[in-house]
Amino acid sequence: MTDLATKPGADEKPSAQSTATVPLGGDAAFAWAPAEPAPRRRRVGLWVGVTAAIAAIALVAASLVLIAPGTSVAGVQVGGMTAGAAADAITQRLAGTVVVLDGEAGQAEFTGADLGASIDGRGLADDAFAQHPMWNPTQWFSDPSTATISLDAAAVESAVRAALPELYVAPVDATLAYDADKVRYVASEAEQGVGVDVDALRVALQEAFDSGAARAEIDVTPAPIEPTVTTEAAEAAASELNGLLETAGFYVGDERVVRVKPAVTASWLTVSQTAEGAFEISADPAAIQKVVEGLPEAVERQPVDARVITDSSGGVLRTDVAGVTGRELGSTEGLAEDVAAQLSEGDATFELTVAETEFATAAVSRRIEVDLSEQTTYLYENEQVIRTYAISSGLEDSLTQTGSFRVFAHVSMQDMGCFEGAPYCTEDVPWVMYFNGDQAFHGAYWHNNFGNPMSHGCINMPVDVAKFVYDWSPTGTEVWIHD
């Protein structure tokens, strides 16, 4: 009997898709069922582990970019936010914080945005993350940090003036103008205005923001509004401009060879005001060019030789004719533009380029000789007698002293001997030229006896001669008196 539990080829694994039939006698046959497949393993634990790992990785990654829980910046909770989101939260909170301004003129509300409030939101957020990162549990729920708010003064004025115009009195700027009658620039005084104290608003907004409050109320605090153009700025500009008018000219070295009249200089200038309240100077080269074109005639000249009076050793006693250096003006191309540029910088001394020709100097030595025996005076130039005059020297009881002297003083007129106890008094003696103590050359109007001794020791001359000798003889002129 064949074992039903086995069959031929039992060691062979039947195909999952086939059956085998075995005869059991007669017509009956038994069919074998296909072999059942082995059951699959379940991996539920594995998937749970993977999900947990991913979540842990995500949590770790998030902790690397998020700010620690419990962190606040000026009352704004930024814990669990990225730095970018925190920056947005800080600036939005500031923009929406309300300040209520209350005063006699009424009440008005202003948001931080209305007042031009600003804060370094990004910097604060970055600092919050740097100091309190989520990955560091020791920094969780730390003390809140503070932040400084700034206000835009122009935005504050615009917003408050629109809502409460009664609070404002506009300042008056100082002015600067040229006064043709005075021929100078004059400044008017500025006047302070009145407005709202911007810093008081900022403090109120700061306190509300720091405390996390949505609004704050503040009484109106008046504050002065400074003018854009101050009195000091206008006066300083006027002083600078008037300095230009006084010094304007074309110079050769330190000499102002062509003076520009103040009214002409003023006609060249335009004074404009900057947004900051300062003044800027500009000049018109086309107007300056008209003066430049006349410079050659005013500047150029021929040299003039000098003439000096000396003693016999060559020492200069006086310059009779001052030497003048000749000048020829150089190119003036572009000079008007250069002058305009200098004026805009506050300099009105315009240096000219000239070629100079030196002058010559002629020296003439002079001396006076008096021959008492001949009662004659001789005038010498370069040891040549140029004139002789009859004179009257001292009488026997008051002789004129002989010797070599020098003229030491000139007096155009004086009284002689008119003092208590004097033996004589002669008033209004002209053209007195002292050479030896109280002995002098002078004019004598009281006699005409020249050629004979007549005086108390002086050398008398006709008045016209005395005048000539007075002018001809500088101080230091040598005088030789002999018999």
Q: Average pLDDT of 276-305?
A: 96
Q: Is residue 417 part of a domain?
A: yes
Q: Are 188 and 264 in the same domain?
A: no
β pairing state of 249-252 and 255-259: antiparallel
User: pLDDT band at residue 42, thresholds of 50, 70 and 90?
Assistant: low
* Beta strands 98-103 and 215-219, pairing class: parallel
CA 268 from chain centre, in angstroms, equals 22
Cα distances (angstroms) measured from residue 80 to each of 85, 145, 281? 10, 16, 59
Q: For strand 361-371 and strand 478-482, is the pairing parallel, antiparallel, or unpaired? A: parallel
Domain end call among 336, 359, 382: 359
**pLDDT one-digit tens code per residue, 118-175:** 988 888 888 888 888 988 888 898 888 777 889 998 899 899 889 988 888 999 999 9
Q: How far apart are CA 40 and CA 50, in angstroms?
A: 20
Say whether both 53 and 190 belong to one domain: yes
Q: Which of 330, 359, 388 is the last residue of a domain?
A: 359
154 lies in a domain? Answer: yes
407 and 420 share a domain? yes
Helix axes 198-211, 153-163, angle to 10 degrees: 100
Q: pLDDT category, 378, cuts 50, 70, 90?
A: very high
Report pLDDT digits (tens) over 327-345.
999 999 999 999 999 999 9
- For the cut 50, the answer to whether the pLDDT of residue 217 exceeds it is yes
How far is residue 270's CA from residue 97's CA, in Å, rounded to a whole number? Answer: 48
pLDDT at residue 26 in the model: 42
pLDDT at 106 over 90: no
Task: Give Cα 248 to chain centroid, integer Å.
Answer: 21
Q: Are residues 371 and 350 in the same domain?
A: no
Q: Say yes or no: 96 and 113 in one domain.
A: yes
| Full domain range(s) for residue 465 | 364-482
- What is the pLDDT, as a whole number, of residue 145? 79
pLDDT band at 30 (very low <50, low <70, confident <90, very high): very low
Average the pLDDT over 51-61 and give the result. 50
Q: Render the burial of 349-370: b for 16+ CB within 10 Å, e for the rest.
A: ebebebeeeebeeeeebbbbbb
User: Which residue, of 292, 327, 359, is where some domain finishes?
Assistant: 359
Name the burial class of residue 409, with classes exposed (0-12), middle (13-18) and buried (19+) by CB atoms within 10 angstroms of its CB: exposed
Q: Can you give the CATH number for the domain in which 387 is found? A: 2.40.440.10
What pLDDT score was predicted for residue 105?
Answer: 73
Q: Are residues 217 and 95 in the same domain?
A: yes
Same domain, 198 and 344: no
One domain, residues 256 and 393: no
pLDDT one-digit tens code per residue, 248-290 = 999 999 999 999 999 999 999 999 999 899 999 999 999 999 9
Domains: count for the chain: 3
**Nearest of 173, 151, 183 to residue 273 by alpha carbon:** 173
DSSP-derived 3-state class of residue 356: strand
Structure-token pair, residue 295: 């410079």
Task: Identify the H or E element spanning 198.
Answer: helix 198-211
For tokens 């101080």, name the residue.
475
Per the domain annotation, does 431 fall within a domain?
yes
Q: Is residue 438 part of a domain?
A: yes
Asked if residue 211 and residue 116 are part of one domain, the reply reads yes
The tens digit of pLDDT for each residue in 348-359 reads 999 999 999 999
d(CA 242, CA 187): 11
Residues 6+ apart with CB under 8 A from 382: 364, 365
Q: Same domain, yes or no, for 168 and 52?
A: yes
Residues 213 and 66 in one domain: yes
Q: How far is CA 199 from CA 194, 195, 220, 222, 379, in A?
A: 14, 12, 12, 11, 92
Q: What percent of the chain has pLDDT over 70?
A: 87
Does any domain span residue 10?
A: no
Instruction: Identify whether residues 166 and 99 lie together within a single domain.
Output: yes
**Per-residue pLDDT at 461 exceeds 70:** yes
pLDDT of residue 57 exceeding 80 = no
Kindly report the average pLDDT of the chain as a whole number: 87
* Position 211 in a domain: yes
pLDDT-based confidence at 32, cuts 50/70/90?
very low
